[in-house]
């Protein structure tokens, strides 16, 4: 198989490239490095089956030769990033998804959209099954990401129904691991970097809001299974084990051995109060469930950030 991965320089995109190459596939990686990091794929530069194209996916995508898969992972994905890049976030989710679907259709390739638990907004149903339509504020600051991804899902289904493109939609819940940007603003990277530097851990609000954290290797395994043997309906991939943000802070302090204090900061606007995936569909359809515990995953992530910060 030869696959196009958009957002190849990103946290998830780069892990996906590694995994596809390890399976013997050819990969065309695409990124414009708005939030991606060239260092994430620097080790692939001389890989015989990897090709890198620097391109903004919101404009026409041209690829020479055949393609069997298009995996659309390009997008700012941290709340801090999409608040700073609202127009780019809207454009990559809408125009970028349209262009990526267009190339999949032209090449007869299977398409996978990296969607998000944000399509559920601040959910009124807990945990969230794929059948839940969500509670999103379209005009709030997070709307640029949430609505772009909701549009992207609708566009993907339209290409499936109208053009017969073989499509997949993965709704990705909070994921962490090596290659997150140290200052990307998300809670796991923030807490680890703060703990390692002896800075206060910034808990937003009172820290009673919950998230369910999936280690990146588990997530990639679920996505590859969905791509290979799933269907067009959206599938949640995430770890159903739920923690409060304050519990996460405590765990990071213990695992790093840091003496950093915990400080409270204002809760961002429209910050979801709870989030936990119902993974029944992934389990039934793909026989998938996460294996890495938060403690093990955090240890591996802490090792990574230690090396990045020291380096
Ligand atoms: N959060 C926090 N401190 C930080 C960063 C984030 O308490 O330094 C909280 C944030 O308000 C949210 C949760 O941690 O409730 C997860 O935030 P993140 O930015 O990782 O992603 P989200 O799940 O909100 O998209």
Structure tokens at 50: 């990897």
Instruction: State the pLDDT confidence band at 183, using cuts at 50, 70 and 90.
Output: confident
99 Cα: distance to centroid of ligand 1 (angstroms): 31
Closest atom, ligand 1, to C-alpha of 207:
7
pLDDT tens for 250-263 read: 999 999 999 999 99
Q: Identify the pLDDT of residue 310.
A: 81
Of the residues 141, 144, 182, 187, which should be mutated to test ligand 1's pocket, given the most ligand atoms within 8 Å of the CB? 187
Of the residues 119, 211, 253, which should be mutated to test ligand 1's pocket, given the most ligand atoms within 8 Å of the CB? 211
pLDDT tens for 99-158 read: 999 999 999 999 999 999 999 999 999 999 999 999 999 999 999 999 999 999 999 999
Instruction: Give Rg (Cα) of the chain.
Output: 19
Catalytic residues: 145
Q: Identify the pLDDT of residue 13.
A: 98
What average pLDDT is seen over the chain?
97
185 Cα: distance to centroid of ligand 1 (angstroms): 8
Asked if residue 176 lies in contact with residue 297, where contact means CB atoms within 8 angstroms, the answer is yes
206 Cα: distance to centroid of ligand 1 (angstroms): 12
Task: Please state, in angstroms and rounded to a whole number, the distance separating the CA atoms of residues 294 and 216.
Answer: 11
- Domains, the chain, with CATH or none: 2-175+213-237 (3.40.50.720), 180-211+241-276+292-310 (3.90.25.10)
121 Cα: distance to centroid of ligand 1 (angstroms): 14
The CB of 142 under 6 Å from ligand 1? The reply is no
Q: Is the pTM of this model over 0.95?
A: yes
Q: Identify the pLDDT of residue 181.
A: 94
Query: Is residue 37 scored above 80 in pLDDT?
Result: yes
CA angle, residues 233, 128, 116, in degrees to nearest 5:
60
Closest atom, ligand 1, to C-alpha of 174:
23
CA angle, residues 98, 218, 227, in degrees to nearest 5:
40
Q: Whose CA is nearest to atom 12 of ligand 1?
A: 271
Angstrom CA distances, 8 to 101, 104, 188, 239, stand at: 17, 17, 21, 23
């Amino acid at each position: 198989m030869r696959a196009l991965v958009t957002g190849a320089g990103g946290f998830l995109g780069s892990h996906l490239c590694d995994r596809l190459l390890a399976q013997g596939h050819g990969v065309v990686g695409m990124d414009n490095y708005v939030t991606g990091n060239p260092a994430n794929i620097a080790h692939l530069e001389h890989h015989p089956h990897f090709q890198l194209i620097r391109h903004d996916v919101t404009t026409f995508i041209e690829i020479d030769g055949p393609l069997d898969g298009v995996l659309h992972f390009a997008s700012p994905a941290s709340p801090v990033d999409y608040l700073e890049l609202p127009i780019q976030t809207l454009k990559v989710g809408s125009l970028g998804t349209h262009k990526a679907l267009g190339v999949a259709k032209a090449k007869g390739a299977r398409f996978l959209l990296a969607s998000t638990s944000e399509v559920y907004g601040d959910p009124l149903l807990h945990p969230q099954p794929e059948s839940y339509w969500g509670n999103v504020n379209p005009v709030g600051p997070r709307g640029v990401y949430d609505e772009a991804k909701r549009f992207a899902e609708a566009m993907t289904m339209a290409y499936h129904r109208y053009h017969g493109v073989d499509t997949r939609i993965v709704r990705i819940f909070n994921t962490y691991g090596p290659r997150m940007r140290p200052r990307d603003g998300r809670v796991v990277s923030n807490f680890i970097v703060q703990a390692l530097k002896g800075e206060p851990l910034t808990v937003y609000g009172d820290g009673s809001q919950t998230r369910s954290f999936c280690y990146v290797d588990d997530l990639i395994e679920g996505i590859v299974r969905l791509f290979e043997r799933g269907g067009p309906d959206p599938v949640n991939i995430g770890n159903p084990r739920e923690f409060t943000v304050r519990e996460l802070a405590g765990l990071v302090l213990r695992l790093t051995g840091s003496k950093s204090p915990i400080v409270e900061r204002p809760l961002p606007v429209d910050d979801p109060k709870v989030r936990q995936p119902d993974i029944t569909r992934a389990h039934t359809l793909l026989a998938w469930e996460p294996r890495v515990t938060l403690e093990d995953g955090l240890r591996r992530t802490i090792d990574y950030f230690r090396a990045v910060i020291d380096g």
